[in-house]
Chain A
Amino acid sequence: MTDNAKQDKPFLDQADVRVSHESGALGAIRSFLSRVRSGDLGSLPVVVGVIVIWTVFQTLNPIFLSSNNLVNLLFDMSTVGVIALGVVCVLMLGQIDLSVGSVSGLASAIVGVLWVNQGWPVALAIIVAVGAGALIGCVYSLLYNRFGMPSFVSTLAGLLAFLGMQLYILGNAGSINLPYGSGLVSFGQTLTMPAWFSYSVAVLAGIAMLLSRYRTAARRKEAGLSSQSLISTVLVAAVLTAILLFAAWYLNQARGIPWMFGLFVALVLALNYALTRTKWGRMMFAVGGNKEAARRAGINVAFINLTAFTLCSSLAALGGVLSAARLASASQQAGTGDVNLNAIAAAVIGGTSLFGGRGNAYSALLGIIVIQSIASGLTLLNMSSSLRYMITGAVLAIAVIVDSLARRSRVSHGRE
């Protein structure tokens, strides 16, 4: 009576009287709570995890949440974060790429050799390095599409092969120092956004969100569908702007927001758009969810595999270039050790399922925040890497457990 009296006819998508529909800001909160209770957690566990980790480290060492340390954190996480973004793409298809670390190491070696030893222009060296990554991805997808070679095996072979290639390219010297003061190294170590720029980005982000949501709401209303109320749209945009402005202000107390982090976030936003708003993204989800159904719907599954593997290896190579810039060197150690597993763990901790079909681009960002926070906090506490590995491993295990419990809850609430 109350709802239907206000409008002459019910919305097209709310015509079914058996289903209750929440409205208004309170309703949005209520439906969010009921979603969480039924196991549709989204990014909630990671956000809670970050808060817990930050609180613990802050109480143990008050420097942890200082502007300076957070700026360093942003510099450090951008390199592996870009690699994790590529891992999200292959995980979406239920595939895996175990060689992202080796590919990133190879890319940094290529940049070092071509740029420093051979004297090529830096931009060309980077293009060749990322192109090599793309080529590697093409080979993986060829092995999978043509020969049915599981990505687990092909990329495990790649892990060894490309580590060998990295050592071969670097030769006997084993390490190439990139020149300090050059654009690439400054980008990786010092360059930050000017304060006015970071504030304008924060405000523009809020305005862009407001406009796009308002346009969607107007179109939905025109088409006879229920739409978000103007007040809640403004509220959400205002909260987003306030959070971004505060973050920018706090980081500007120190050196400011690194351009490298800006590049990482831009890549995350681009991938998020591609996954959620384009036909390609829809096909990625479809292939990850049910490959046979996707094939019968006329989707070119082999092509989707090709794009995912290529994107993953290219982003891994780009991450390798960034980490070379961050360390100002291309060495035999680049891309070895925990880079591989950190990148995969970040994607999984952030909420991308290992089984395909579930995930989003933000999981790379959120996951790498968790992993890098642990690394940074333990370093501040003068703890050895042995502890860091153990704690990161435990967090990964907890993340997967939370995911399986949530899935069980989704099943029992009929949401999966």
Chain B
Amino acid sequence: MVQDDIKSNVLTTTLESAINWGRKNSLWPMPFGTACCGIEFMAVLAARTDLARFGAEAIRFSPRQSDLLIVAGRISIKMMPVLIRIYEQIPEPKWVMSMGACASTGGVFDTYSVIQGIDQFIPVDVYVPGCPPRPEGVVEGFIKLQDLVGKEKLADYAPAPAK
């Protein structure tokens, strides 16, 4: 009798996968929307695409409360120090999605004032192509990121060895 109860009511898992399951289904994004991609990101949040279906409706504009930085739009040389600062303010664990061509590579703006890809300076986990990406594309990128979060190893979060 007791045996059966345990079988039907208790799930055994590892701590790692339980934590990852929780993390990946409740990512709190912080949109760093600067340009056109910011508008498309609004479309991702709005009724038709609705990112809430993937557990990411809690948009936080404070870096200290979020764990996913979505860089949407071109980053100028004046903005880059701000972006670096915001990235540093997000507590671990944190992930970065580079949305659109401009954030990933500079896009069409091959000029003196646009950073040619934010990944030169901050680590990026998922790149979403498009100028701007369709909302479906962003959702695809988001699912890819969820897979990534699901595969995290807790052991990786040991502090870095002193250099």
> Do the two chains belong together in a single complex?
no
Give B contacts to A, CB under 8 Å.
Answer: none
